[in-house]
Amino acid sequence: MSLNKSLKNMGFRKNLKKGEVVFRENDPSDCAYIVGVGAIEICKKTPRGQKVLKVLGDNEIFGEMGLIDGLPRSATARARQDSVVYILTSLEQNLNVLTPAEFVFLENRKPDGVYNHETRKKLYGILAKLEREKPRSSRIEKRLYKFFRDANFGILLDKDSKTREKIIHSGKVHILARFEGEIIAQAVLIEKTASIAATIAAEVVMCKGRVFGEIRATYKIKIAKGGDVKRAMAEILGKVDGFCKGKGGSMHLADFSIGILGESGIVASSVPIATGAALASKLGKKDFISVVFFGDGASNQGACHESMNMAALWNLPIVFVVENNQYAMGTAVGRSSAETEFHRRGTAFRIPGMDVNGMDVLEVRQAAEIAFKHVREGKGPVLMECNTYRYRGHSMSDPAKYRTREEVQDIRDHKDPIEGIKKLLLENGSTEEELKAIDKDIRKTVTEAADFAENSPEPEASELYTDVLVEEY
Protein backbone atom coordinates (compact mmCIF):
# COMPACT_ATOMS: atom_id res chain seq x y z
CA MET A 1 0.00 0.00 0.00
CA SER A 2 1.39 3.44 -0.95
CA LEU A 3 2.01 6.06 1.71
CA ASN A 4 -0.74 8.40 0.51
CA LYS A 5 -3.26 5.59 0.34
CA SER A 6 -2.30 4.57 3.85
CA LEU A 7 -2.62 8.13 5.08
CA LYS A 8 -6.14 8.34 3.70
CA ASN A 9 -7.16 5.67 6.16
CA MET A 10 -6.13 8.06 8.92
CA GLY A 11 -8.17 11.04 7.72
CA PHE A 12 -11.76 12.21 7.80
CA ARG A 13 -13.60 11.88 4.49
CA LYS A 14 -15.36 14.88 2.94
CA ASN A 15 -17.46 14.91 -0.26
CA LEU A 16 -17.23 18.06 -2.40
CA LYS A 17 -19.46 19.39 -5.15
CA LYS A 18 -17.97 21.01 -8.25
CA GLY A 19 -16.87 24.55 -7.36
CA GLU A 20 -17.01 23.97 -3.59
CA VAL A 21 -14.16 25.66 -1.72
CA VAL A 22 -11.93 23.56 0.56
CA PHE A 23 -10.19 26.61 2.02
CA ARG A 24 -9.65 30.21 0.96
CA GLU A 25 -6.48 32.27 0.72
CA ASN A 26 -5.56 33.74 4.15
CA ASP A 27 -7.79 31.27 6.01
CA PRO A 28 -6.28 29.79 9.21
CA SER A 29 -4.46 26.50 8.61
CA ASP A 30 -4.25 23.49 10.91
CA CYS A 31 -4.60 20.44 8.67
CA ALA A 32 -3.62 18.85 5.35
CA TYR A 33 -5.69 17.14 2.62
CA ILE A 34 -5.37 14.20 0.25
CA VAL A 35 -7.37 13.94 -2.95
CA GLY A 36 -9.32 10.69 -2.88
CA VAL A 37 -11.29 10.96 -6.10
CA GLY A 38 -11.67 13.88 -8.49
CA ALA A 39 -9.64 17.02 -9.02
CA ILE A 40 -8.74 19.99 -6.81
CA GLU A 41 -7.45 23.25 -8.28
CA ILE A 42 -5.13 25.57 -6.35
CA CYS A 43 -5.81 29.24 -7.13
CA LYS A 44 -4.30 32.57 -6.12
CA LYS A 45 -5.56 36.13 -6.33
CA THR A 46 -3.90 38.37 -8.91
CA PRO A 47 -4.68 41.92 -10.13
CA ARG A 48 -6.43 40.23 -13.07
CA GLY A 49 -8.47 37.86 -10.91
CA GLN A 50 -8.08 34.24 -9.80
CA LYS A 51 -5.19 32.33 -11.39
CA VAL A 52 -5.11 28.52 -11.33
CA LEU A 53 -1.62 27.50 -10.23
CA LYS A 54 -2.07 23.74 -10.54
CA VAL A 55 -4.63 20.95 -10.59
CA LEU A 56 -4.26 17.98 -8.25
CA GLY A 57 -5.55 14.48 -8.89
CA ASP A 58 -6.00 11.18 -7.03
CA ASN A 59 -3.73 10.56 -4.00
CA GLU A 60 -2.01 13.96 -4.18
CA ILE A 61 -1.47 15.93 -0.95
CA PHE A 62 -2.17 19.65 -0.58
CA GLY A 63 -2.28 22.15 2.27
CA GLU A 64 0.38 20.20 4.16
CA MET A 65 2.09 23.37 5.44
CA GLY A 66 -0.89 23.74 7.75
CA LEU A 67 0.48 20.80 9.75
CA ILE A 68 3.94 22.33 9.89
CA ASP A 69 3.74 26.09 10.46
CA GLY A 70 0.05 26.88 11.02
CA LEU A 71 0.38 30.07 8.95
CA PRO A 72 -2.58 31.46 6.95
CA ARG A 73 -3.31 29.73 3.66
CA SER A 74 -1.26 31.11 0.77
CA ALA A 75 -3.82 30.11 -1.86
CA THR A 76 -7.39 28.92 -2.38
CA ALA A 77 -8.30 25.26 -2.95
CA ARG A 78 -11.60 24.29 -4.62
CA ALA A 79 -13.13 21.29 -6.34
CA ARG A 80 -12.72 21.35 -10.11
CA GLN A 81 -15.32 18.57 -10.29
CA ASP A 82 -17.26 16.46 -7.84
CA SER A 83 -14.51 15.14 -5.57
CA VAL A 84 -13.65 13.35 -2.34
CA VAL A 85 -10.87 14.59 -0.04
CA TYR A 86 -9.45 13.20 3.21
CA ILE A 87 -8.61 15.62 6.01
CA LEU A 88 -5.47 14.95 8.03
CA THR A 89 -5.64 16.79 11.32
CA SER A 90 -2.66 17.74 13.45
CA LEU A 91 -1.69 16.25 16.81
CA GLU A 92 -3.17 19.31 18.49
CA GLN A 93 -6.59 18.39 17.17
CA ASN A 94 -6.45 14.64 17.11
CA LEU A 95 -4.47 12.83 19.77
CA ASN A 96 -6.12 9.48 19.25
CA VAL A 97 -4.41 8.56 15.95
CA LEU A 98 -0.91 8.75 14.60
CA THR A 99 0.36 11.97 13.09
CA PRO A 100 1.55 11.71 9.48
CA ALA A 101 5.15 11.90 10.71
CA GLU A 102 4.58 9.09 13.20
CA PHE A 103 2.84 7.01 10.57
CA VAL A 104 5.69 7.45 8.10
CA PHE A 105 8.22 6.60 10.80
CA LEU A 106 6.40 3.37 11.69
CA GLU A 107 5.68 2.37 8.10
CA ASN A 108 9.34 2.77 7.12
CA ARG A 109 10.60 0.51 9.94
CA LYS A 110 11.14 -3.19 9.71
CA PRO A 111 9.67 -5.05 12.67
CA ASP A 112 12.74 -7.25 12.94
CA GLY A 113 16.01 -5.40 13.31
CA VAL A 114 18.48 -3.54 15.50
CA TYR A 115 17.55 -0.02 16.56
CA ASN A 116 19.42 2.56 18.53
CA HIS A 117 18.23 3.79 21.88
CA GLU A 118 16.36 6.88 20.65
CA THR A 119 14.67 4.99 17.84
CA ARG A 120 13.54 2.30 20.23
CA LYS A 121 12.05 4.91 22.56
CA LYS A 122 10.21 6.49 19.65
CA LEU A 123 8.85 3.14 18.50
CA TYR A 124 7.58 2.28 21.97
CA GLY A 125 6.04 5.74 22.27
CA ILE A 126 4.09 5.27 19.05
CA LEU A 127 3.00 1.76 20.05
CA ALA A 128 1.90 3.02 23.45
CA LYS A 129 -0.16 5.74 21.77
CA LEU A 130 -1.83 3.14 19.51
CA GLU A 131 -2.48 0.85 22.47
CA ARG A 132 -4.04 3.69 24.46
CA GLU A 133 -6.28 4.86 21.62
CA LYS A 134 -6.76 1.54 19.83
CA PRO A 135 -10.60 1.67 19.66
CA ARG A 136 -10.44 4.96 17.74
CA SER A 137 -7.45 4.09 15.54
CA SER A 138 -7.82 3.40 11.84
CA ARG A 139 -7.67 -0.10 10.39
CA ILE A 140 -4.21 0.46 8.93
CA GLU A 141 -2.95 1.76 12.29
CA LYS A 142 -4.31 -1.27 14.09
CA ARG A 143 -2.59 -3.47 11.54
CA LEU A 144 0.70 -1.66 12.05
CA TYR A 145 0.32 -1.99 15.81
CA LYS A 146 -0.22 -5.75 15.51
CA PHE A 147 2.76 -5.90 13.16
CA PHE A 148 5.17 -4.22 15.58
CA ARG A 149 3.72 -5.26 18.95
CA ASP A 150 5.85 -8.39 19.31
CA ALA A 151 8.72 -7.27 17.13
CA ASN A 152 12.40 -7.80 17.80
CA PHE A 153 13.73 -4.49 19.07
CA GLY A 154 17.43 -4.12 19.45
CA ILE A 155 19.05 -1.90 22.07
CA LEU A 156 22.28 -0.36 20.92
CA LEU A 157 24.46 1.02 23.73
CA ASP A 158 27.42 3.32 23.52
CA LYS A 159 30.78 1.65 23.19
CA ASP A 160 32.37 0.76 26.54
CA SER A 161 29.24 1.91 28.42
CA LYS A 162 28.57 0.28 31.76
CA THR A 163 25.59 0.00 34.07
CA ARG A 164 24.62 -2.05 37.05
CA GLU A 165 20.98 -1.10 36.81
CA LYS A 166 18.59 -4.01 36.46
CA ILE A 167 16.79 -4.46 33.17
CA ILE A 168 13.38 -5.98 33.70
CA HIS A 169 12.39 -7.89 30.61
CA SER A 170 9.98 -10.59 29.57
CA GLY A 171 10.48 -12.64 26.46
CA LYS A 172 13.54 -13.75 24.50
CA VAL A 173 16.90 -12.01 24.81
CA HIS A 174 19.59 -12.49 22.20
CA ILE A 175 23.15 -11.42 23.10
CA LEU A 176 25.20 -10.12 20.20
CA ALA A 177 28.10 -8.09 21.54
CA ARG A 178 29.31 -6.41 24.73
CA PHE A 179 27.28 -4.90 27.57
CA GLU A 180 27.71 -5.01 31.33
CA GLY A 181 24.58 -5.22 33.42
CA GLU A 182 21.91 -7.56 34.63
CA ILE A 183 18.91 -8.88 32.79
CA ILE A 184 16.28 -10.42 35.04
CA ALA A 185 12.82 -11.78 34.34
CA GLN A 186 10.51 -14.61 35.20
CA ALA A 187 10.79 -16.50 31.94
CA VAL A 188 13.68 -15.20 29.92
CA LEU A 189 15.51 -17.34 27.44
CA ILE A 190 19.13 -16.24 27.13
CA GLU A 191 20.66 -17.41 23.88
CA LYS A 192 24.37 -18.05 23.17
CA THR A 193 25.85 -16.67 26.38
CA ALA A 194 25.17 -16.10 30.09
CA SER A 195 22.12 -17.11 32.08
CA ILE A 196 19.20 -15.60 33.93
CA ALA A 197 20.14 -12.87 36.41
CA ALA A 198 23.82 -13.21 35.49
CA THR A 199 26.11 -10.43 34.33
CA ILE A 200 25.86 -10.14 30.60
CA ALA A 201 28.50 -8.82 28.22
CA ALA A 202 26.94 -7.28 25.14
CA GLU A 203 26.90 -4.03 23.20
CA VAL A 204 23.81 -4.93 21.26
CA VAL A 205 20.91 -6.79 22.84
CA MET A 206 18.08 -8.14 20.73
CA CYS A 207 14.83 -8.35 22.66
CA LYS A 208 11.74 -10.27 21.65
CA GLY A 209 8.97 -8.99 23.92
CA ARG A 210 8.57 -5.93 26.12
CA VAL A 211 11.14 -4.12 28.18
CA PHE A 212 10.05 -2.45 31.40
CA GLY A 213 12.28 0.42 32.32
CA GLU A 214 15.02 2.15 30.46
CA ILE A 215 18.08 0.45 29.10
CA ARG A 216 20.90 2.94 29.02
CA ALA A 217 24.31 3.36 30.51
CA THR A 218 23.73 6.52 32.52
CA TYR A 219 20.37 5.81 34.16
CA LYS A 220 20.18 6.90 37.79
CA ILE A 221 17.38 8.00 40.05
CA LYS A 222 18.08 11.56 41.12
CA ILE A 223 16.21 13.98 43.31
CA ALA A 224 15.17 17.31 41.86
CA LYS A 225 16.99 16.79 38.59
CA GLY A 226 20.30 16.00 40.25
CA GLY A 227 20.02 18.35 43.18
CA ASP A 228 22.01 17.40 46.28
CA VAL A 229 19.71 15.90 48.94
CA LYS A 230 21.84 17.22 51.78
CA ARG A 231 21.77 20.78 50.46
CA ALA A 232 18.01 20.54 49.92
CA MET A 233 17.47 19.47 53.53
CA ALA A 234 19.77 22.26 54.74
CA GLU A 235 17.74 24.81 52.80
CA ILE A 236 14.48 23.55 54.30
CA LEU A 237 15.96 24.02 57.78
CA GLY A 238 17.23 27.50 56.88
CA LYS A 239 20.92 26.61 57.12
CA VAL A 240 23.84 28.24 55.34
CA ASP A 241 24.75 25.08 53.34
CA GLY A 242 21.39 25.13 51.57
CA PHE A 243 20.89 25.95 47.89
CA CYS A 244 20.03 29.54 48.76
CA LYS A 245 22.14 29.86 51.92
CA GLY A 246 19.10 29.08 54.04
CA LYS A 247 17.18 32.17 52.88
CA GLY A 248 14.80 30.39 50.55
CA GLY A 249 13.36 27.76 52.84
CA SER A 250 10.91 25.10 51.66
CA MET A 251 8.94 27.45 49.38
CA HIS A 252 11.82 29.07 47.49
CA LEU A 253 14.14 26.24 46.50
CA ALA A 254 16.30 27.07 43.49
CA ASP A 255 19.47 25.73 41.91
CA PHE A 256 20.37 27.46 38.67
CA SER A 257 23.29 25.07 38.06
CA ILE A 258 20.87 22.26 37.20
CA GLY A 259 18.13 24.39 35.64
CA ILE A 260 15.80 24.70 38.63
CA LEU A 261 14.69 28.33 38.54
CA GLY A 262 12.85 28.26 41.83
CA GLU A 263 9.36 28.84 43.12
CA SER A 264 7.58 31.24 45.43
CA GLY A 265 4.71 31.44 47.86
CA ILE A 266 2.61 33.35 45.32
CA VAL A 267 0.17 30.86 43.81
CA ALA A 268 0.91 30.15 40.11
CA SER A 269 3.83 32.60 40.04
CA SER A 270 6.15 29.94 38.68
CA VAL A 271 4.05 29.54 35.51
CA PRO A 272 4.97 32.86 33.84
CA ILE A 273 8.58 32.44 35.01
CA ALA A 274 8.81 29.06 33.28
CA THR A 275 7.14 30.53 30.19
CA GLY A 276 9.77 33.27 30.15
CA ALA A 277 12.48 30.62 30.34
CA ALA A 278 10.93 28.87 27.32
CA LEU A 279 10.93 32.18 25.45
CA ALA A 280 14.61 32.65 26.32
CA SER A 281 15.35 29.19 24.94
CA LYS A 282 13.63 29.98 21.65
CA LEU A 283 15.10 33.46 21.21
CA GLY A 284 18.57 32.26 22.16
CA LYS A 285 18.23 29.21 19.89
CA LYS A 286 18.96 26.91 22.81
CA ASP A 287 17.95 23.28 22.95
CA PHE A 288 16.41 23.18 26.44
CA ILE A 289 12.71 22.95 27.17
CA SER A 290 10.84 24.37 30.14
CA VAL A 291 8.69 22.26 32.49
CA VAL A 292 6.48 23.89 35.12
CA PHE A 293 4.50 22.15 37.85
CA PHE A 294 1.43 23.69 39.48
CA GLY A 295 -1.71 22.47 41.23
CA ASP A 296 -5.41 22.37 40.47
CA GLY A 297 -5.90 25.45 42.63
CA ALA A 298 -3.18 27.42 40.86
CA SER A 299 -4.64 26.52 37.48
CA ASN A 300 -7.53 28.92 38.16
CA GLN A 301 -5.18 31.89 38.38
CA GLY A 302 -5.10 34.30 35.48
CA ALA A 303 -1.32 33.94 35.21
CA CYS A 304 -1.78 30.35 34.03
CA HIS A 305 -4.12 31.25 31.21
CA GLU A 306 -2.03 34.25 30.15
CA SER A 307 1.08 32.09 30.07
CA MET A 308 -0.62 29.36 28.04
CA ASN A 309 -1.84 31.91 25.53
CA MET A 310 1.64 33.38 25.17
CA ALA A 311 3.24 29.94 24.88
CA ALA A 312 0.81 28.88 22.15
CA LEU A 313 0.99 32.22 20.31
CA TRP A 314 4.79 32.11 20.16
CA ASN A 315 5.09 28.32 19.87
CA LEU A 316 7.30 28.06 22.95
CA PRO A 317 9.05 24.85 24.12
CA ILE A 318 7.23 24.31 27.42
CA VAL A 319 5.26 21.54 29.15
CA PHE A 320 2.60 22.69 31.62
CA VAL A 321 2.03 20.03 34.30
CA VAL A 322 -1.10 20.31 36.46
CA GLU A 323 -0.78 18.13 39.55
CA ASN A 324 -4.45 17.67 40.31
CA ASN A 325 -4.66 16.40 43.88
CA GLN A 326 -8.45 17.00 43.93
CA TYR A 327 -8.53 19.54 46.80
CA ALA A 328 -6.09 22.42 46.16
CA MET A 329 -5.55 23.95 49.61
CA GLY A 330 -8.82 22.54 50.92
CA THR A 331 -11.56 23.00 48.33
CA ALA A 332 -12.68 20.14 46.10
CA VAL A 333 -12.16 20.84 42.39
CA GLY A 334 -15.89 20.50 41.71
CA ARG A 335 -16.60 23.48 43.99
CA SER A 336 -13.98 25.80 42.52
CA SER A 337 -13.70 24.88 38.83
CA ALA A 338 -16.38 24.85 36.14
CA GLU A 339 -14.10 22.59 34.05
CA THR A 340 -12.70 19.85 36.28
CA GLU A 341 -10.82 18.08 33.47
CA PHE A 342 -7.84 20.39 33.52
CA HIS A 343 -6.12 18.83 30.50
CA ARG A 344 -8.93 20.28 28.37
CA ARG A 345 -8.17 23.87 29.36
CA GLY A 346 -5.52 24.20 26.70
CA THR A 347 -8.14 23.74 23.97
CA ALA A 348 -8.86 27.47 23.84
CA PHE A 349 -5.20 28.06 22.99
CA ARG A 350 -4.85 25.03 20.69
CA ILE A 351 -2.56 23.33 23.19
CA PRO A 352 -2.87 19.52 23.18
CA GLY A 353 -3.88 18.08 26.55
CA MET A 354 -2.94 14.77 28.15
CA ASP A 355 -4.97 13.03 30.87
CA VAL A 356 -2.46 11.05 32.95
CA ASN A 357 -2.78 8.77 35.97
CA GLY A 358 -0.38 10.55 38.29
CA MET A 359 -0.38 7.55 40.66
CA ASP A 360 1.16 5.28 38.01
CA VAL A 361 4.92 5.78 37.73
CA LEU A 362 5.29 4.21 34.29
CA GLU A 363 2.27 6.01 32.83
CA VAL A 364 3.65 9.37 33.98
CA ARG A 365 7.01 8.54 32.48
CA GLN A 366 5.49 7.43 29.20
CA ALA A 367 3.29 10.54 28.98
CA ALA A 368 6.29 12.75 29.72
CA GLU A 369 8.29 11.15 26.91
CA ILE A 370 5.45 11.82 24.45
CA ALA A 371 5.07 15.42 25.65
CA PHE A 372 8.81 16.13 25.55
CA LYS A 373 9.10 14.67 22.06
CA HIS A 374 6.25 16.87 20.85
CA VAL A 375 7.86 20.00 22.30
CA ARG A 376 11.41 19.18 21.18
CA GLU A 377 10.19 18.76 17.61
CA GLY A 378 9.09 22.38 17.64
CA LYS A 379 5.36 21.69 17.73
CA GLY A 380 4.67 24.01 20.65
CA PRO A 381 3.52 23.55 24.25
CA VAL A 382 1.73 20.60 25.85
CA LEU A 383 -0.61 20.56 28.86
CA MET A 384 -0.37 17.46 31.08
CA GLU A 385 -2.85 16.78 33.87
CA CYS A 386 -1.47 14.30 36.40
CA ASN A 387 -4.34 13.10 38.57
CA THR A 388 -2.85 12.43 41.98
CA TYR A 389 -3.69 12.59 45.69
CA ARG A 390 -2.06 13.85 48.86
CA TYR A 391 -2.55 11.83 52.03
CA ARG A 392 -1.97 14.68 54.46
CA GLY A 393 -3.23 18.24 54.73
CA HIS A 394 -1.99 21.07 52.56
CA SER A 395 0.29 22.20 55.38
CA MET A 396 1.03 21.37 59.00
CA SER A 397 -1.85 23.64 60.03
CA ASP A 398 -4.35 21.83 57.78
CA PRO A 399 -6.34 19.06 59.58
CA ALA A 400 -7.88 18.02 56.21
CA LYS A 401 -11.43 17.79 57.60
CA TYR A 402 -12.85 18.34 54.10
CA ARG A 403 -12.52 14.60 53.36
CA THR A 404 -13.06 11.35 55.25
CA ARG A 405 -10.44 9.02 56.66
CA GLU A 406 -12.07 6.22 54.67
CA GLU A 407 -11.42 8.08 51.43
CA VAL A 408 -7.73 8.55 52.24
CA GLN A 409 -7.32 4.92 53.31
CA ASP A 410 -9.01 3.66 50.14
CA ILE A 411 -6.49 5.57 48.00
CA ARG A 412 -3.62 4.19 50.10
CA ASP A 413 -4.89 0.63 49.73
CA HIS A 414 -5.67 0.63 46.00
CA LYS A 415 -3.82 3.45 44.21
CA ASP A 416 -0.58 4.10 46.06
CA PRO A 417 2.15 4.68 43.42
CA ILE A 418 4.98 3.15 45.47
CA GLU A 419 3.03 0.00 46.22
CA GLY A 420 1.97 -0.14 42.57
CA ILE A 421 5.52 -0.05 41.19
CA LYS A 422 6.64 -2.48 43.89
CA LYS A 423 4.00 -4.95 42.75
CA LEU A 424 5.07 -4.55 39.12
CA LEU A 425 8.73 -5.09 39.99
CA LEU A 426 7.92 -8.24 41.96
CA GLU A 427 5.85 -9.57 39.07
CA ASN A 428 8.77 -9.02 36.70
CA GLY A 429 11.57 -10.69 38.58
CA SER A 430 12.66 -8.48 41.48
CA THR A 431 12.84 -10.01 44.96
CA GLU A 432 11.63 -8.72 48.32
CA GLU A 433 15.26 -8.62 49.47
CA GLU A 434 16.25 -6.33 46.59
CA LEU A 435 13.38 -3.94 47.27
CA LYS A 436 14.17 -3.90 50.99
CA ALA A 437 17.76 -3.02 50.12
CA ILE A 438 16.53 -0.06 48.03
CA ASP A 439 14.31 1.09 50.91
CA LYS A 440 17.22 0.78 53.32
CA ASP A 441 19.44 2.83 51.03
CA ILE A 442 16.80 5.57 50.76
CA ARG A 443 16.38 5.73 54.54
CA LYS A 444 20.15 6.01 54.90
CA THR A 445 20.26 8.87 52.38
CA VAL A 446 17.49 10.77 54.19
CA THR A 447 19.09 10.22 57.61
CA GLU A 448 22.47 11.45 56.37
CA ALA A 449 20.79 14.50 54.81
CA ALA A 450 19.00 15.30 58.09
CA ASP A 451 22.23 14.98 60.07
CA PHE A 452 24.05 17.19 57.58
CA ALA A 453 21.36 19.87 57.77
CA GLU A 454 21.20 19.85 61.57
CA ASN A 455 24.96 20.27 61.80
CA SER A 456 25.06 23.02 59.19
CA PRO A 457 25.55 26.50 60.72
CA GLU A 458 22.90 29.22 60.80
CA PRO A 459 23.41 32.07 58.34
CA GLU A 460 25.03 35.21 59.71
CA ALA A 461 22.82 38.22 60.38
CA SER A 462 24.69 40.11 57.66
CA GLU A 463 23.25 37.69 55.07
CA LEU A 464 19.98 39.61 55.41
CA TYR A 465 21.53 42.29 53.19
CA THR A 466 23.02 40.02 50.50
CA ASP A 467 21.35 38.69 47.34
CA VAL A 468 18.55 41.23 47.80
CA LEU A 469 19.35 44.14 45.51
CA VAL A 470 21.13 44.31 42.17
CA GLU A 471 24.26 46.32 42.84
CA GLU A 472 25.38 46.79 39.25
CA TYR A 473 23.24 47.39 36.18
Alpha helices in 290-360 (DSSP H): 302-313, 333-336
198 pLDDT higher than 90: no
Residue 148: pLDDT over 90: no
From CA 358, how far away is CA 236, in angstroms rounded? 25
Give the span between the Cα atoms of 83 and 37, in whole angstroms. Answer: 5
Higher pLDDT: 277 or 14? It is 277
Of residues 181 and 287, more confidence is placed in 287
**pLDDT tens-digit series, residues 66-100:** 766 667 888 999 999 999 888 876 533 343 577 77
What is the identity of the amino acid at 40? Answer: I
Among 258, 256, 293, smallest CA distance to 274 is for 293
How many CA atoms lie within 13 Å of 292's alpha carbon, on the beta-carbon side?
33
CA distance 444 to 441: 5
pLDDT of 210 strictly over 50:
no
pLDDT > 60? residue 473: no
**With bands split at pLDDT 50, 70 and 90, how would you rate the model's confidence at 117?**
low
The domain made up of 264-430 has a fold known as Rossmann fold (3.40.50)
Average pLDDT of 97-122? Answer: 74
What's the whole-number average pLDDT of the chain?
78
- Classify domain 3-89 at the CATH class level: mainly beta
For residues 308 and 381, the answer to whether their CB atoms sit within 8 Å is: yes
Residue 365 pLDDT > 50, yes or no? yes
The average pLDDT across 57-68 equals 81
Q: How far apart are CA 52 and CA 77, in angstroms?
A: 10
Residue 425 three-state SS: helix
Does residue 199 have a pLDDT over 50? no
The per-residue pLDDT for 319 is 94
Per-residue pLDDT at 284: 87
Q: What is the pLDDT of residue 222?
A: 34
Question: What is the pLDDT averaged over residues 315-334?
Answer: 91
Chain centre distance of CA 216: 19
**302 or 210, higher pLDDT:** 302
Residue 285 reports pLDDT greater than 60: yes
Dump pLDDT digits (tens) for 373-386: 999 999 999 999 99
Band the pLDDT of 159: cuts 50, 70, 90. very low
Q: What is the mean pLDDT of residues 120-138?
A: 80
Ranges of each domain in the chain? 3-89, 100-153, 157-212, 264-430
| Distance in angstroms between the alpha carbons of the first and the last residue of the chain | 64
Residue of 22 and 257 predicted with greater confidence: 22
The residue that leads in pLDDT, 84 or 157, is 84
133 band by pLDDT with thresholds 50, 70 and 90: confident
Lowest mean pLDDT among 82-96, 284-298, 417-431, 448-462: 82-96
Q: How confident is the model at residue 362 (pLDDT cuts 50, 70, 90)?
A: confident
Mean pLDDT of 250-263: 76
Residue 271 identity:
V
Of 56-60, 84-88, 205-209, the least confident: 205-209
Least confident of 7-11, 145-149, 213-217, 220-224: 213-217
Q: Is 28 helix (H, G, I), strand (E, B) or coil?
A: coil
Residue 103: partners with Cβ closer than 8 Å, 6 or more residues away: 6, 7, 10, 141, 144
304-318 tens-digit pLDDT = 999 999 999 999 999
pLDDT at 180 over 50: no
Q: What is the pLDDT of residues 11-35, one digit of tens each?
A: 567 889 999 999 999 888 877 888 8
pLDDT of residue 163 exceeding 80, the answer is no
Which residue(s) pair with 54 in the sheet?
A: 42
Asked if residue 79 lies in contact with residue 22, where contact means CB atoms within 8 angstroms, the answer is yes
**Residue 281: what are its φ and ψ, rounded to 5°?**
-65, -45
- State residue 153's pLDDT score: 67
Share of the chain above pLDDT 70, in %: 77
> In the predicted model, what is the mean pLDDT of residues 33-45?
91
Sign of CA dihedral 133, 137, 139, 145: negative
**Confidence category of residue 424, pLDDT binned at 50, 70, 90:** confident
